[in-house]
Amino acid sequence: MNWLKALCVGALVAWVCVVPTAEAASQKQEIDRLVSKYQQLGLFNGSVLVANEKGVILEKGYGFANFEWQVPNTPDTKFRLGSITKQFTAMLILQLAAEGKLQVDEPVTKYLPDYRKDTGDRITLAHLLNHTSGLPNYTNREFFQKSSRDPYSVADFVKKFCSGDLEFEPGTKFNYSNSGYFLLGAVIEKVTGQTYAQALRQRIFDPLGMKDTGYDVSATVLPKRASGYEAQPGGYVNASYLDMTIPYAAGSLYSTVQDLYRWDRALHEHKLLPAPLEQRMFTPVLEDYGFGWSLKPVKLHDGKTELASISHSGGINGFSTLLVRATGKKELVILLDNTARGRKLSEMATGVLSILHGIPPKQPSQPISDVVMATLEKSSVAEAIARYRTLKATKAGEYDFAESELNNAGYRLLGSGRIAEAVEVFKLNVEMYPNSGNVYDSLGEAYVAQGNKEQALVNYRRAVELDPKNTNAAQAVQQLEKPSATR
């Protein structure tokens, strides 16, 4: 185990190596100004760490870890990670493969013999790792409305939510599936004889000195844990409760920006896995996804410069997260937010990377969704839409009119049961972005909630026409076209 000790020492040395140069000091100030602007506009509330090959450039908390008590966020505040968890699950599977305890190209049923054979014999662990298994994703809107508050054993959850009929033949398509990563956690427990949490602690967290990272359990009194919030027009509300047996190996971990920095440096040391398995982890398959990581270039804010990157985002009740590794110069951006406002994290990370490369970052602007929602709190949806049109015609440069903004407002309305208003907002987005399949998909979902299956089918079909890769819309079309759906 000497390599583990060496790795821990190496991580500690890297940790204390803070970039001392004047250039880094200037970059630190510019990054701080950019992040502060996002925070002032209500687009970020959390902790940030930025580093390059020389060490940490900036580590800082913004806003509050707890709004009730006005407790500030700090670099050692613990946040729920959501799907950033997947890279740790993938690492465990590959470590077990390196030890000869499993093979990633073997079927699920070899390790979970009680799993249904008609599908499990066709799904390999690799299919689960890169989201090509064909398993339906359990984390849909209906699931969160009905089942997310109840605790489950691993076996019971697998049987109820991870054993559905396949949506396509394994290996032929990409469809992001938390169900697949839940199954990987079950495999880890079966092979190791430990709980998923124990295996993580023994094999990754303790060796790397990640003392502020673990499996989140709501009942545990966890020092410096951030509370999760969701934004509303009048401020923030506490996020809906989620039993942490639900995300499990797909999204159950908590960590700090400092611990995730240790994780990043350990990956750069290339000592966690043999080279062939590490290479496979970071080799993109369908949709540029490897094993627990997305591998897509980042285009900086000059519109020209591209950086090879390895990244993953996360979203879980009250939290949004993003970890981006631009590996050329070991550049790292970690953004952990406890207000579930994650739609701007990618833009923010790209702005930070732009600064590191001497490129002026795009400056954030006020989201038009906030204006729409604030208007809706005081008046009708017709007046909110009129307000949108007026501002777009007269003050377009002062607000963010991105497609995602009206979509965000529409889903906030859907989530609060204001379905008729949601339909009108989604209809406006279709008018503004008629060539986007995503906006038709969202409008279709609102029509389903309204009980208008005819209009839902029209919009889902249009979504598939514009974006044939939209599996959600395609599945909705199939469901709505069934004879039982029209009776």
Of 334, 349, 364, which marks where a domain is finished? 364
Statement to judge: residues 334 and 383 lie in one domain:
no
The pLDDT of residue 396: 87
DSSP for 321-337, written as a single string: EEEEEEGGGTEEEEEEE
pLDDT digits (tens, 9 = 90+) for 125-174: 999 999 999 999 998 766 766 667 889 999 999 999 999 999 999 999 99
Mean pLDDT by 10 residues, the chain (487 residues): 40 44 86 97 96 97 97 98 98 98 97 96 98 91 72 93 94 95 98 98 97 96 96 82 95 98 97 95 95 97 96 96 95 96 91 97 93 92 96 92 92 89 97 96 95 96 93 88 62
Q: Domain range for residue 177?
A: 1-364
Do 316 and 406 lie in a common domain? Answer: no
Question: Which pTM does this prediction carry?
Answer: 0.88
- One domain for residues 408 and 328: no
pLDDT of residue 77: 98
DSSP string for 186-212: HHHHHHHSS-HHHHHIIIIIHHHT-TT
Asked if 383 and 372 count as a contact pair (C-beta separation under 8 A), the reply is no
Same domain, 280 and 144: yes
The DSSP output letter for 106 is S
In terms of domains, do 19 and 164 share one? Answer: yes
Pair (68, 113) in one structural domain: yes
Q: Which helix (H) or strand (E) holds 319?
A: strand 319-326
Asked whether residue 314 falls in the same domain as residue 463, the answer is: no
Q: Are residues 280 and 207 in the same domain?
A: yes
DSSP strand pairing (298-299 vs 46-52):
unpaired
Q: CB under 8 Å to 306, separation ≥6 — which residues?
A: 297, 298, 299, 300
Q: Among 364, 387, 415, where does a domain finish? A: 364
Tokens of 459: 């919009």
> Domain count of the chain?
2
With 0-12 / 13-18 / 19 or more C-beta atoms within 10 angstroms meaning exposed / middle / buried, residue 134 is: buried
DSSP run (H or E) holding 386: helix 381-394
Q: Are residues 230 and 333 in the same domain?
A: yes
Same domain, 314 and 385: no
Q: Given this model, what pLDDT does residue 78 score? A: 98
- What is residue 17's predicted lDDT score, i.e. its pLDDT? 44
Q: What is the CATH number for 377? A: 1.25.40.10
Any idea what the CATH number is for the domain that residue 275 is in? Answer: 3.40.710.10
402 and 259 inside one domain: no
Same domain, 264 and 299: yes
